[in-house]
Structure 1
């Protein structure tokens, strides 16, 4: 009898441009030795990829909402699994990501949750897409638990999330897990107040509003009642590869976004 923890990975796929990445992600998930992994893919096209246990094909008016269907599938299966993973089809989950998430969940307070940092790579080293514009580490956020240091990075987007069943239930008490949370900044009254402040010359903070697609994961960290923390003591263990490496040079219509390894190292040295 299989007594391994049961892990549900729900991935989103749109079109056929990134199927090679999806195959790699699925193969890696199915290679896990310490977890019984079930993979469901929500897609707009039929798929025939070894390792996928179930494919749900959706026809939508707005495919920006396709990622949200993954949260609904997770919720529908909340009582059948111990761990839950959501990811886009080009983010490579490793078994250590799950192991570390469990380890950190056992030492972090209830109002903290561990997260990942995306990276891309070229011949010159790692680049970090989330580290751009005004996004940065909160250098006053360092906390230590069981000898491990954690810090908050202001860009909470990681195109993925890992949750224990306990965390899923806690989040569901804060937000409707099956729906996107309405950002306070998008409420009409707050838009009017901001507009008036700007017209009067008052300084206003840059809005950190994430796209509909991104909110599938950022809602978890922004409104789920748990502050996202990165374990900086074991930074390398908490990096997830964005396989296409698009943002380094701004390929395929993407903006050129990222910071290189030197900037990240300087920041980590300061945090430590």
Structure 2
């Protein structure tokens, strides 16, 4: 088997990693040719080529140079590998790719996850951050492998067979000019085969250790990503879905269609103690709608509250459920039916309502689960359309911003107030805060004009049909489902 490897390497910063990567390929039993793509001449081993040039003036366009190389040598190789200069792909990775690839359908393709190693051997998986999560509906079995799709398709590398590369080229989505949209320039070059060539990237979760590749700098540890315990918990939930052949549907879509998926829900949001402190001290029974990794819900649980969560899906919530959080699975209607006998002092909608076409309907669906005097705590971005236009100044923009085109509402204090009133809630207070991810970003620079997030507390209005002082359902407020 003949393999062509293209490695993007800008400048000299990663030369030590580049040397290690090249040596790894040269040690393989396969017949491997390595081509380094750079903006400068590099001292590479005699058997390694170095192509110098940039597709555009933007230095981040360098990775797109590999596409013409692959086209020109399409008929000379059986396998094509692209990677950045700090990604260590091993012979085991390639062999595993070939093994599982023979069992996949024509539009399915094997992908990888990056892994980093800390000084004590702990593992970090940087792709798992922000709004990215496993698609619980994508789980499937092919041959002896169980696979699933992870929504972050970037891993700074990919492998294609000649047949797959031929199909990618024919799709019209491979040989394209440098571009960015869902991902930046660097990431777009490495994800185009998955995002615009007709392939579905699948990761073999049943053999996950054969499909992670070492990100040599290990620089994201402690900054973003999850550890192996968190990743393992999510994979366990996926494997359970596959073994039981049960249908798993996400609660709702929390990704926008904005440039770089701006304003999508952060599934790994840190504890928001400044927000949770607005919950009345007398509130004991808490319902959280649209929870993700569960940091806030677990924090409330540890303070002695009784907490029930309706998560985005059974995968993202698996670890928090194992730690004692009571989880109600299903779509919105099914979840509401399961808690029909329960009553709560507070309902949380933390960065949820803006993703629903009719937020007032969602509020109304759950508002009668509140006890008399109960409250609803809401967080949402502060005027995301205005902020988005400012952030995209000088770049491509949506021609028309609406929920239909962006999959997010232009939330503000007044918009949330209107939703609450239409749902039978009275607004108690609103405030504006900076989100925990805003520090140092363009988003934070707008704080002089307005903060990045709206926080609202609303109260259930008295129901004339309920008996005064009724405590219906209190005894079963958070009992077993």
Shift of 1:266: 0.5
1:55 matches 2:22? no
Other-structure match for 1:154: 151
Worse overlay, 151-160 or 55-64: 55-64
Other-structure match for 1:267: 234
Q: TM-score, normalised by structure 1?
A: 0.83
Whether the 8 Å CA contact 1:41–1:52 is kept in 2: the answer is no
Shift of 1:220: 0.8
Q: TM-score, normalised by structure 2?
A: 0.48
Distance 1:167 1:91 in 2: 22
In the alignment, which of 226, 234, 247 is matched to residue 220 of structure 2?
A: 247
- Please give the per-residue CA displacement for 1:22-80, whole angstroms capped at 9, x wherever unaligned: 000000011111x1000000111211122652101115521111100012111111111
- Please give the per-residue CA displacement for 1:144-179, whole angstroms capped at 9, x wherever unaligned: 011310011110001111000000011112124222
CA RMSD of aligned residues (A): 1.6
Alpha-carbon distance change, 270 to 176 in structure 1, aligned in 2, over 3 angstroms = closer
Shift of 1:140: 2.1
Other-structure match for 2:85: 89
Whether the 8 Å CA contact 2:64–2:178 is kept in 1: the answer is no
Distance 1:178 1:54 in 2: 22
Larger Rg: 2
Whether the 8 Å CA contact 1:174–1:225 is kept in 2: the answer is yes
In the alignment, which of 115, 121, 128 is matched to residue 117 of structure 2?
A: 121
Shift of 1:180: 4.2
Whether the 8 Å CA contact 2:173–2:193 is kept in 1: the answer is no
- Please give the per-residue CA displacement for 1:198-231, whole angstroms capped at 9, x wherever unaligned: xxxxxxxxxxx10011111111111111100000
Distance 2:49 2:66 in 1: 12
Other-structure match for 1:202: none
Whether the 8 Å CA contact 2:7–2:36 is kept in 1: the answer is yes
1:164 matches 2:144? no
1:197-208 matched pairs, under 5 angstroms: none
1:10-25 matched pairs, under 5 angstroms: 10-25=6-21
Alpha-carbon distance change, 26 to 182 in structure 1, aligned in 2, over 3 angstroms = closer
Whether the 8 Å CA contact 1:27–1:51 is kept in 2: the answer is no
Other-structure match for 2:129: 132
Aligned length: 237
Alpha-carbon distance change, 69 to 262 in structure 1, aligned in 2, over 3 angstroms = same
Worse overlay, 125-134 or 95-104: 95-104
In the alignment, which of 41, 49, 58 is matched to residue 46 of structure 1?
A: 41
Structure 2: which 5+ runs fail to align? 240-481
Distance 2:39 2:69 in 1: 15
Alpha-carbon distance change, 174 to 182 in structure 1, aligned in 2, over 3 angstroms = farther
Distance 1:166 1:100 in 2: 18
Whether the 8 Å CA contact 1:30–1:51 is kept in 2: the answer is no
In the alignment, which of 220, 232, 241 is matched to residue 193 of structure 2?
A: 220
